[in-house]
Structure formats: C-alpha cells, structure tokens
A and B are shown apart, each in its own frame.
Chain A
Amino acid sequence: MQVNDNKDFQPLIVAFCCNWCSYAGADLSGTNRLNYPTNVKIIRVPCSCRVNPMFILRAFQRGADGVILCGCHPGDCHYTSGNYFTRRRMTLLFSMLDFLGIERDRTRVEWVSAAEGAKFAATMNEFTEAVRKLGPNRRLEDLRCRKQ
C-alpha cells in the first residue's frame, strides 16, 4: 500500500447518510459540538438502500477521494429491510472495486443510529484520516473533472 507523504493533502469525502438514522446522527454530533472534518460532504438519502452503485462511482468521478455510506443499524431500518439489501450490494461492489485494483480503504459502510452522534464524528475523523493517508484518488478518477 502506498502512503501519501503530503501532509497538506485534504481529501474530499462524500458521505451518503440515510435520512432516519445517520443524518440525524450527524445532526446530533453537531448539536453536541463534536468536531468532524469539513472534508466530509453529506448527501442525504431516504434510505441507504437508495444508493445504487452508480452513486458511489459518480462521486469518485466528480472528485471524491473516499466514499462512505451510513445507514441504520441492521434490524433498525425505517423501511424494515432496506439496509440488508444495502449490505449485500455494497459488499459485492466494494469487492469488485478491490478486484479492479481500486484501493479498498476508499470505500466504507458504517451503521450509525440517530443517537450515535459521537460515533458519527469518530467515524468521519477516522475515515478522513485513512483516506488522507492514501492520497488523492487516481485510479478511479475522471481526468476531465480534475480542477486545474
């Protein structure tokens, strides 16, 4: 694994958060005045299951260096079973990205409930740091989208 030496590199992180748990969890971390990096851009989705593999790829295309998907804990889905499908789908997608040689630490699924503001902040801190170490996304970037 290559490690990025550039300490100034600020990765762009896209976080897909389900409306019912993780987005509320992000809110809670805010009201509790917990810090998480401004690198993280949240996209609210009705359910983690709304995220189709294309969303993940498109985020990378438009310049994301890491993509994280947050949803309700298994068993707690607002729609009963959405996140179970998410789990299978993302497992296969991440495995495929790994198979194509895309760094595996650029993608993650994390279950964050509405009560877990602290977990949300900790997850984002940790994930941002992991991606920062990897350096800019080069293997799954669209050169046309690079800001010159």
Chain B
Amino acid sequence: MQKAMIERAKQLLADGTVKRVIGWKRGEFAYDITPAVFETADELDRDFVFDDFTAANVSKYLVKESRKEGKVLAFLKPCDTYSLNQLTKEHRVDRDNIYVIGVPGGPKLDIEKIKAKGITGITNVRNENYTIKVETIYGTEELPFYEAIMDKCASCKSKKHVTYDELMGEEGDVLDSNRFDMVEKLENMTSQERYDFWRSELSKCIRCNACRNVCPACTCENCVFDNPKSGIDNKAPADSFEENMFHIIRAFHVAGRCTDCGECSRVCPQHIPLHLLNRKFIKDINSLYGEYQAGADTTSKAPLNEYTTDDCEASIVHERGVE
C-alpha cells in the first residue's frame, strides 16, 4: 500500500494536480512516525511511510495547509475523513483546495501497549500474519497483533470513507461497534463509584493540553483556557476542581461535533480514557435527540445548534440510571 501511495502522490505532484502532500514521516525507530508535509518526489521516496503505526489523524493540519497556495493531497483513513467533513461543515478548511485520497484504516498498533508488556530496546516491529515480531537488543519477542492495537481501533465505528476524491484499496462499511460499552458500564455504577473512577483518572492529568491541541474539533484561535482575560486560564491543574472543569468543558465544547476519532486518548501521556467523556455526550445525544454522527455529512445541523419543542426536560437526568 505504502508503495502505491508514494507512486500516486508522485504522479499528482508531477502533473500539477497538487503542490504538497500531507502524510506520515518515518522516525528514528520502527514506530515513531510524525505527520509531515512532503513537497518533492525525493522526500516521498525517502521518508513517506504508511504502516501499522500511522495512527495519527492528519485532518487538523488541513486547517492550515488548505489555506496555503496550491492544492494539498491528503491521505485519509476512514476515521480521518469524518474529521475532515466536520471541519468542512464548520468552514475551517477550504475543501476545494484539498485532494483527498481515501486509504484503508487500522487497526493500528499502539507501541505503548507493546512496551507495557515489558518489551524494551525495540529495534524493529514486524507484522507477520497478525503475529507481531518485536526485535529488540535483548532478543525477539512475539505477541498477537490484537493485543497491541490502539484502543480507538478496538472499538472502530466505521471503515467507510465519508469524503474522498479518490479511493485506494477497498471501501468498507459503517460498523456495529461496541464503543459505548464502557460508558454504559460506568453509568451502571453508583455515583460514588463513578466519582472515584474519574478522580483516579483525572487526577493523573498534567494539563499538557495534548488532548485539546490534537483534537480536530478544537480549532479555536485562542482557547478560553489560554486566555488570561477569561479568568479560568491555567497551565497546571492547581486543584481537583480544575481537572474536572478542564475536561468537562473540553468535552462539552466538542459535544455534537466530536466525530469520536479517539485522538484525545491516543495522545494522553497519562493514559486517561478521555474519549469516554466525548462518548458519553454522543451516547446521550443519540438516545435523547436521535442518532447523530458528527462528520457523516457536511450539511446537517449539530444537535446543540438545534432543538425541537418537545425535547425532554433536563430533569430526565434525575429520573434515569443509578444514583
């Protein structure tokens, strides 16, 4: 696939269809890829990579890239196309200036999961028929592919590209995923148990803002948490209240716009399952206001920008579930 992608990108660069290519660049090791913009065939040949570790969603970079002169070619996985659609709907990208090639999605590997098994000194990672062979300076280790996949891929919602100009590989379907299982499990706990769960998770937060900055739905020029005039700006979780507030507001601000791409949890250095907050909103929206998938199209109104006169009252929260 990688080879075909490089060839196609080179063609499109050569015939002038696009001026730049956004994709993933090879790193120092087998797994540390970086999203990057390529401008020449040489750069593509040397550094372009598409493999089991290219999990990063590059659609947010298109906010900046699509406003530059000349078209940009973007290789997008199915989940990334939802993000792009949402950005298009919100007029954050110039869709006409982007040439999208849909490429197959994951499951992608999570190097942290491999390392958590005590494997270290990693020099190479190979996928042989869904067995991962990890070569290290201490010898070779093996583990089943599915034990090391990204959490976001384990509950994949769709293999379908919702927007593209060209497709490489086969088109998939929207999946019947299990993505709300954990949310449901938490809903069925007591209020004290939920409180304890979230305290132990959110107290790990170091307020690095990676979850916010990577989020394709978070595109404010100046975030309220960075604005000294807002009265709530901070660079550190100075109190447990601030940890709660930051994560509630972060998730709330993208409620109805979050496509559930899972980047927030992927980048969290402390492994906080932040996507659960977003999924809680998605689940509530689905059950209270009708099924809605952000990014599935570019025309529908976001659930929080809309209403019906017979919506449920807020007291519904008091009436359902476990106290």
**Residues on A facing B (Cβ under 8 Å):** 1, 53-54, 57-58, 60-61, 74-75, 81, 84-85, 87-105, 107-109, 139-144
Contacts and interface: CB of A to CB of B under 8 A. Distances in A.
Given A1-B323, A95-B284, A144-B239, 11 more contacts: A54-B224, A54-B232, A87-B313, A88-B311, A89-B304, A92-B304, A93-B248, A95-B317, A102-B191, A107-B314, A109-B314
A108 B197 contact: no
Q: Sort A-B residue pairs by CB-CB distance and give the 10 closest, nearest first.
A: A101-B195, A84-B307, A101-B194, A142-B241, A109-B314, A94-B317, A91-B314, A90-B314, A95-B317, A100-B198
B323 A104 contact: yes
A90 B316 CA distance: 11
A95 B280 CA distance: 9
Most chain B C-beta atoms within 10 Å of own C-beta, residue among A1, A87, A143: A87
A92 B281 contact: yes
A94 B187 CA distance: 13
Nearest to B202: A100
Contacts of A84: 307-309, 311
Given A61-B245, A99-B280, A141-B241, A91 B312 contact: yes
Nearest to A84: B307
Interface stretch (B25-33, B93-101, B173-181, B249-257): B249-257
B321 A57 contact: no
Contacts of A81: 307
9 contacts: A53-B252, A57-B244, A60-B241, A84-B311, A92-B304, A94-B317, A101-B195, A104-B323, A141-B241
Contacts of B238: 144
Given A1-B323, A91-B288, A98-B321, A103 B307 contact: no
B222 interface: no
Interface residues on B, range: 35 or more
B120 to A, nearest CB: 36
A74 B309 contact: yes
A85 B314 CA distance: 11
A4 B90 CA distance: 47
B interface SS class: helix
B210 interface: no
A109 B315 contact: yes
Given A84-B307, A91-B288, A100-B198, A140 B244 contact: yes
Interface in B249-280: 249, 251-252, 255, 277, 280
Interface string B53-66: 00000000000000
A61 B199 CA distance: 16
B176 to A, nearest CB: 24
Contact of B317 (A85, A91, A142): A91
B289 interface: yes
Given A84-B309, A100-B244, A143-B240, A1 B318 contact: no
A57 B242 CA distance: 10
Contact of B195 (A88, A89, A96, A102): A102
A99 B187 contact: yes
Most chain B C-beta atoms within 10 Å of own C-beta, residue among A75, A84, A90, A92: A92
A141 B284 CA distance: 25
B186 interface: yes
B251 A96 contact: yes
B284 A103 contact: no
A99 B248 CA distance: 10
A17 B3 CA distance: 63
B311 A57 contact: no
B129 interface: no
Nearest to A143: B239
